[in-house]
Amino acid sequence: MSAPRRSPADVLLVLAGPLAIAGLAVWLGQSTSWDLRNYHWYNPYALLHGRMGFDAAVAHHATFYNPLIDLPLWAVGNAAPGWVASAFLGLVQGLNFSFLYLIARDALDGRAGPHRAIAAVLAALGVSGGYAVILTGTTYYDNVVSVPVLAALWLVVRDRGASWASLAIAGLLVGLAVGLKLPTAPFGLAILAAVAAATWGDLRRCIGAVFVTGIAAFLGLMLASGWWFFVLWRETGNPLFPYFNDIIGSSLILDSSYRDTRFLPQSAMEALTFPFRFTQDWRVGSDWPVNDWRVAFAYVAVPLGVIAAAVRPRAAAPAAVPWHRARILFAFAAAAYVSWLAVFAIYRYITPLEMLGPLLIAAAIGLFPVPPPVRWGATVAALVAVVALTTLRPGNRAAFAEAIVTVSVPQIARPEATMALMTGVEPMGFVVPSFPPQIPFLRVDGYLVGPDSATAYLKRMTARIDAHLKSGGDLYTLYQPGEQARGDKALAQLGLRRTEDCSIVTSNLAPPLNWCRVASGAAP
């Protein structure tokens, strides 16, 4: 018997989850993450103030990421105290609990009471994983784009693809998620796999369902990011700039893919053992210390569950998650995992699978051809082990300030005649909105551009610097003190030198930055 679609308990749980996560975000404190300091505060400012082409490479590669996803936080962060902005992020991220609960509720087979409680527990375990906690109240947004992804999966699980409208909405939601953050792309393939699994057995229906979902996903992608693809193509010649430049080929930068391939497996054995290697050493797939076994346990349990379903006697006791629903979850997870491992292998990008891990484990063990008490005992034992093995860390946090970003800049005598050069790789984009808007910021040294590579993009910047100096303008450099030697070298390669005429830029997110006048010629 399927559980009723709605009850007071459903409403309570769907609303309580986001409120609880909002409270957790406030309790954890102000996030000072690298990405917030690099581009999540700068990009919406740049979009709203038309700084494309006025500034240059302020946030390295991320300067060219779709800024649409950052606009809500920009609005809230400029209108409310810092803790309210964090609570807002937590509230949105808490919707993951709501959809995890709905997916588990509709996947479980049985009467309403106990299965709703089980669904709530599985959802709670899903949002309390290693990366789920680290990302709470932060702007990494992997746990924001996960919301439409999980909503789409719920629509497929709910009626097993019986409704064309549900399929279209599911595809649209995933397409929007991918458009807002391109590394979500593996879940675009995952939702197609889930739809195929849901309609398996009726070839015409299966093909039609996948087609409708795929078209809707493409429409969602274009709605979220089509305009940005056009902007990048118009400005750079590459709609994915700077990525895949070895294929698409903007003349502004090097003939390179510019992808982060640090974590990609280098052999078949590394690929097969990836989840276990990650649990032993977080550096296999992450820049931040995290220890979570949800994906690793599911990686073992799901294949065993598939085998168990294949050999399961017809007279066996009903599974907690019937095969016709379990296969949707398994297909979704497998497609997402395999495509992610082939393209990224950055653990943070599969946070939705970490969240689904407890349900995947329960669904897989529930298919084992053993008595129900044994299955439930094994499920509880596995989930207890997952929780016991997980180490939770809050990430980089600080006390809340008056606003989510507070920056104090030095007095600038002639902002209309001032240009700033950024050097080093430390994230500094978050301070730019606090400077007078007349000042262009050019990162002449960083991950994307540097004096060592004479790209057209760098030449464009050096031409602007030369013209600015010839017109009598003031030139300054902004850098992190620990990168002073690197910055001085970069300036010297451009025929410039830093002077001792310096001030300090302070903020609530990072140590002080140096703001120093720059002159032409070699250092004395």
Q: What is the DSSP string of 318-349?
A: PPSS-HHHHHHHHHHHHHHHHHHHHHT--GGG
Instruction: Please indicate, yes or no, if residue 40 is contained in any of the structural domains.
Output: no
Residues in the chain: 524
Instruction: Please indicate, yes or no, if residue 222 is contained in any of the structural domains.
Output: yes
For residue 286, what are its two tokens?
């992450």
Instruction: Please indicate, yes or no, if residue 60 is contained in any of the structural domains.
Output: no
CA 362 – CA 117 distance, rounded (Å): 14
Residues in contact with 201: Cβ distance below 8 Å, sequence separation at least 6, in sequence order: none
Number of domains, the chain: 2
pLDDT at 312: 80
CA 153 – CA 100 distance, rounded (Å): 9
Please count the other Cβ atoms lying within 10 Å of the Cβ belonging to residue 22. Answer: 22
Residues in contact with 477: Cβ distance below 8 Å, sequence separation at least 6, in sequence order: 420, 421, 422, 423, 487, 491, 498, 514, 515, 516, 518
Among candidates 329, 275, 339, 344, which has minimal Cα distance to 130?
275
Q: Amino acid letter at 196?
A: A
- Of 356, 389, 422, the one marking the end of a domain is 389
CA 67 – CA 459 distance, rounded (Å): 26
> CA–CA distance from 198 to each of 6, 153, 192, 331, 417 (Å)?
22, 11, 10, 9, 62
Phi, psi of 420 (to 5 degrees): -115, 135
Instruction: Please indicate, yes or no, if residue 50 is contained in any of the structural domains.
Output: no
Residue 193 and residue 228 in one domain = yes
Rg (CA), the chain: 25
Residue 230 and residue 121 in one domain = yes
Residue 79 and residue 18 in one domain = yes
Q: Amino acid letter at 102?
A: L
Instruction: Please indicate, yes or no, if residue 260 is contained in any of the structural domains.
Output: yes
Residues in contact with 35: Cβ distance below 8 Å, sequence separation at least 6, in sequence order: 62, 138, 139, 140, 427
Instruction: Please indicate, yes or no, if residue 42 is contained in any of the structural domains.
Output: no
3-state helix, strand, coil in the chain (%, to 5): 60, 10, 30
Instruction: Please indicate, yes or no, if residue 112 is contained in any of the structural domains.
Output: yes
Along the chain (524 residues), what's the average pLDDT of each consecutive run of 10 residues?
65 95 97 97 98 97 98 98 97 98 88 79 96 95 98 92 89 98 98 96 93 98 98 96 92 93 96 96 92 96 95 77 95 98 96 98 94 94 96 91 96 97 98 98 96 92 97 97 97 96 97 97 68
pLDDT at 43: 98
DSSP-derived pairing of the beta strands 496-507 and 407-408: antiparallel
Residue 421 and residue 374 in one domain = no
- Of 326, 360, 389, the one marking the end of a domain is 389
Residue 201 and residue 122 in one domain = yes
Partners of residue 479 on adjacent β-strands: 514
Residue 324 and residue 430 in one domain = no
pLDDT at 111: 47
Domain with 423 in it: 407-520
- Of 358, 389, 420, the one marking the end of a domain is 389
pLDDT at 2: 44
Residue 73 and residue 142 in one domain = yes
Instruction: Please indicate, yes or no, if residue 51 is contained in any of the structural domains.
Output: no
CA 40 – CA 58 distance, rounded (Å): 12
Q: What is the pLDDT of residues 339-352, one digit of tens each?
A: 999 999 999 999 99
DSSP-derived pairing of the beta strands 30-31 and 407-408: unpaired
Residue 12 and residue 128 in one domain = yes
Residue 310 and residue 419 in one domain = no
Residues 467, 469, 471, CA angle at the centre, nearest 5°? 70
Residue 368 and residue 443 in one domain = no
CA 90 – CA 23 distance, rounded (Å): 7
Number of H helices, E strands in the chain: 20, 8
Residue 346 and residue 374 in one domain = yes
CB 348 within 8 A of CB 183: no
For residue 268, what are its two tokens?
């078949």
The H-assigned helical ranges of 346-448 are: 351-365, 372-389
Residue 385 and residue 416 in one domain = no
